[in-house]
């Protein structure tokens, strides 16, 4: 139970809220100083560069079972991917990446049609 005193505005059972906010502000500043904004610009530039090479936004990837190439955020690879219907899934199915002899659930960030020679 919180006791009402002169400190009630800034303290609770988890500690001093003002200190918590100050720590969070400092951490955010440290990230910005370390180059977060620069890295976000680079990420945006990389995405636009890939789109200029024929890659398309992942939300428009085909959901008819057609195989396509996929890039996911956090991955450095390009993998074959396709939509698989499944009525037990919230969206009625999901994307699957073929990698290393197995299938992995996917959320394509970018996609492009499978090359004709594959």
Q: DSSP states of 1-58 as a string?
A: ----STTTTTEETTEEHHHHHHHHHHHHHHHHHTTHHHHHHHHHHHHHHHHHTT-EEG
pLDDT tens for 42-62 read: 889 999 999 999 999 999 999
Report which of residues 17 and 84 the model is more confident about: 84
Q: Average pLDDT in the 6-10 region?
A: 50
pLDDT over threshold 70, residue 78: yes
Q: Both tokens of residue 109?
A: 């960030």
Q: Say whether both 43 and 13 belong to one domain.
A: yes
The mean-pLDDT minimum among 2-11, 85-94, 102-111 falls in 2-11
Q: In this structure, are 46 and 62 located in the same domain?
A: no
- pLDDT of the residue at 1: 47
Name which residue leads in pLDDT, 17 or 71: 71
Task: Identify whether 20 is part of a domain.
Answer: yes
Of the given ranges (24-28, 34-38, 71-75, 92-96), which has the lowest mean pLDDT?
A: 34-38
Domain holding 98, by residue range, is 55-113
Q: Count structural domains, the chain.
A: 2
Is the pLDDT reported for residue 13 higher than 80?
no
Residue with tokens 């002169």: 6
The rounded radius of gyration (Å) of the Cα atoms in the chain is 23
- 2: in domain: no
Q: Are residues 71 and 106 in the same domain?
A: yes
Is 1 inside a domain boundary? no
**Residues contacting residue 56 through CB under 8 Å, at least 6 positions apart:** 110, 111, 112
**Cα(115)–Cα(118) distance, rounded to whole angstroms?**
6
- Between CA 59 and CA 9 the distance in angstroms is 45
Smallest Cα–Cα separation from 81: which of 57, 117, 54, 108? 108
Do 85 and 49 have their domain in common? Answer: no
**CA nearest neighbour of 9 among 26, 27, 25, 21:** 21
What is the arithmetic mean of pLDDT over 92-108? 92
In a domain, 97, yes or no: yes
């Amino acid at each position: 139970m919180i006791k009402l005193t002169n400190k009630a505005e800034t303290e609770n059972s988890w500690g001093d809220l003002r200190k918590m906010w100050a720590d969070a502000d400092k951490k955010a500043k440290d990230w910005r100083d370390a180059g977060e904004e620069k890295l976000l610009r680079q990420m945006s530039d990389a995405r636009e560069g890939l789109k200029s090479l024929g890659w398309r936004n992942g939300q428009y990837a085909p959901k008819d079972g057609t195989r396509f190439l996929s890039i996911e955020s956090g991955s450095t690879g390009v993998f074959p991917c396709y939509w698989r219907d499944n009525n037990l899934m919230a969206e009625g199915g999901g994307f699957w990446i073929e990698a290393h002899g197995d299938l992995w659930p996917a959320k394509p960030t970018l996609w492009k049609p499978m090359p004709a020679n594959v």
